[in-house]
Every structure is written in C-alpha cells, then in structure tokens.
Chain A
C-alpha cells in the first residue's frame, strides 16, 4: 500500500483518444461511475486551468455524493491534473499519458494529498517516508 496512490494502465488506443476519454465531459461520464451502484457520475469537467467542476452521484449514508475539483494543469495530450475533494478530504489527481508506439498508450495515475487531511498538513515528508514502515508494522 501507499499513501500516495499510483496506478498504471496500458490501453490499446491512440494517445488522442485516451486524452479525450480523460478530459471530455461526456466521455468521462461513460466511465467514471459510483462503484457501489455502478451508475455513471454526472460531471461538468472542462480541460481548462482554473475551471471548477463537480462529479455527482446519489448521496449515501456516508457522503453527499459530490466530488469537487479544480483543474490545475492541462498539457494536451500528456498531462492533466486537478484537485479531487469529497467530504473533508482534498486530494490531487494527476494523469500522465505516454505513447508507447504500436497503438499502445500507458496511463499513469497519481493521487496525492492524503497527508493534507486529519491534521497532517505539513507532515508530508515524514508521512510518505513512513509508508513503508506502516507496512512493516502491519506485518509484525
């Protein structure tokens, strides 16, 4: 595990199609879903720095169903980054696209900022470093 979440996916597509899937509001609505209900989330995303957007799903017992974000970086077709906040948690999501040739594109997701919540502000360095230790402690 890690407290900055990173994931890598490889897609058989063109970098432009993947970029569009990640930044076009109607396409985002086709794959970003509430994983508990499987229903797509409505959004008003726009790949414009400073644009504020929301992803919405039905409220549940645990949260109001709203994710608030602000676009931070748009470097078509390679990088897009935005804040991703729900409840009292505010993270930063960054997507990096890399053309691998042969019709393949690598998509790298990094979600950071887990350290900004629960009073951990400013402790990021110590927190990240501590991650491996947490795993050790859990294994002990």
Chain B
C-alpha cells in the first residue's frame, strides 16, 4: 500500500477504461498539461479533470500549477499493489506445484 494512505482504493481507480487510458498516456510523458490530455478524449475537460481527481485520490497522479494551467504526472507506485495481488496467487501455486512434484516423485519409487 502507498505510504500516504490514499483516499481511494487503487483498484477502484483503475476500474474505469478512461482512467486506464489516462495512466497509459501519463506513463509516456514526464508531465502533461490538462488541455493536451483532454485532446485525446471524446469528452470535455471537466470530465477528464474528474477522472484525474479520482486518480489523484488513489495517489496515482500528481498535479502542479504552472501559470494558468495544471500539469499532471504519473506516480506509478500504488500500482505495485495490483501487481502484488496477482503475485500472491502465483506464489501459492508455484509452491504447491513444487510439493506436487515431490509427491509424484515419491509415488514413482
């Protein structure tokens, strides 16, 4: 889990295709202003901004004001939680399948 104790669950944040697309776009750049992000979507800046707020609440996105515009950048670290979640099952089966291997070896004898 992120150290900052985010307001929103990371799984919630990535449940929406628009937000996943935003993460994808943000992953390709260091920083991007809202109007450039908005150009990529068939929706207005208010709608895009709402999605960014949700990503911010999950600690996935940070914004900073530069003059009159806000620039956004990705903070990917909360995504580790998603990765760990799958890794748990992977570990469960890997360890148990090794046990199965020993069991089958014993049977061979």
Interface residues of A (CB under 8 A from B): 1-3, 5, 7, 9, 11-13, 17-18, 21, 27, 30-33, 35, 91, 107, 109, 111, 114, 117-120, 123, 126-127, 130, 133-134, 136-138, 140
User: For chains A and B in complex, what number of residue pairs have CB atoms within 8 angstroms?
Assistant: 98
Let me know if B2 is at the binding interface, CB within 8 A.
Answer: no
Let me know if B36 is at the binding interface, CB within 8 A.
Answer: no
CB distance B86 to A133 under 8 Å? no
With a 10 A CB-CB cut-off, give which of B76, B85, B90, B104 has the most chain A CB atoms: B104
For the residues of B in contact with A, the DSSP-based class is helix
Within 8 Å by CB of B24, from A3, A120, A137, A138, lies: A137
Closest chain B residue, CB of each to CB of A105: B104
Within 8 Å by CB of B15, from A13, A119, A133, lies: A119
CB distance B20 to A133 under 8 Å? yes
Within 8 Å by CB of A1, from B27, B76, B87, lies: B87
Distance in Å from the Cβ of A140 to the closest Cβ of chain B? 5
Interface code B86-109, partner A: CB below 8 Å = 1, 0 otherwise?
Answer: 110111111111011101110110
CB distance B11 to A11 under 8 Å? no
